[in-house]
Amino acid sequence: CVEMGRFLNVLRSWLVIVSVIAVGNSVQSFLDHSFLSEKLYTGRPDFVNGLQARTFGIWTLLSSVIRCACAIDIQNKTLYHITLGTFVLALGHFLSEAFIYKTAPLTIGVMAPLIVASK
């Protein structure tokens, strides 16, 4: 089971990295909502306002906390499944914004979270 131990350590590290990046995105969302209109929702930047940015920021921060908690207690099956759910929700959000609502064209700003959410 040495390989499983290595895998879990890599997964823990990846979850921490993703969590730290998410905290940065949250802070940017709270400080300046133009971050979202310039990087993510470039298809309809007029839809982005302070309230939407703060909501996105708090959701991203919550996901970060959950993912970091999972990195700490990766053996907790319930927490692991909730963490997986955060990635499924993020994937669904960005795919729907890209292909249904057309607010987030497939730029690098959208592709990065899609890749992270799908891994």
DSSP-derived secondary structure letter, 94: H
Give the E-state strand segments of 1-119 in sequence order: none
pTM above 0.75, yes or no: yes
Q: How do residues 31-82 score in pLDDT, each as one tens digit? A: 998 989 998 999 999 999 999 999 999 999 999 999 999 999 999 999 999 9
Amino acid at 94: F
Amino acid at 106: L
> Is the Cβ–Cβ distance between 113 and 63 less than 8 Å?
no
Q: Which two tokens stand for residue 101?
A: 């609502």
Distances (CA, A) of 81 to 30, 43, 74, 88: 28, 32, 10, 10
pLDDT at 1 > cutoff 80: no
Query: CB neighbours of 62 closer than 8 A, spacing ≥ 6?
Result: none
**Angle formed by the axes of helices 50-72 and 2-31, to 10°?**
160
CA–CA distance, 81 with 36 (Å, rounded to integer): 28
- Gap between the Cα atoms of 50 and 65, Å rounded: 22
Q: What is the pLDDT of residue 80?
A: 96
pLDDT digits (tens, 9 = 90+) for 97-112: 999 999 999 988 888 8
Q: Which amino acid is at 14?
A: W
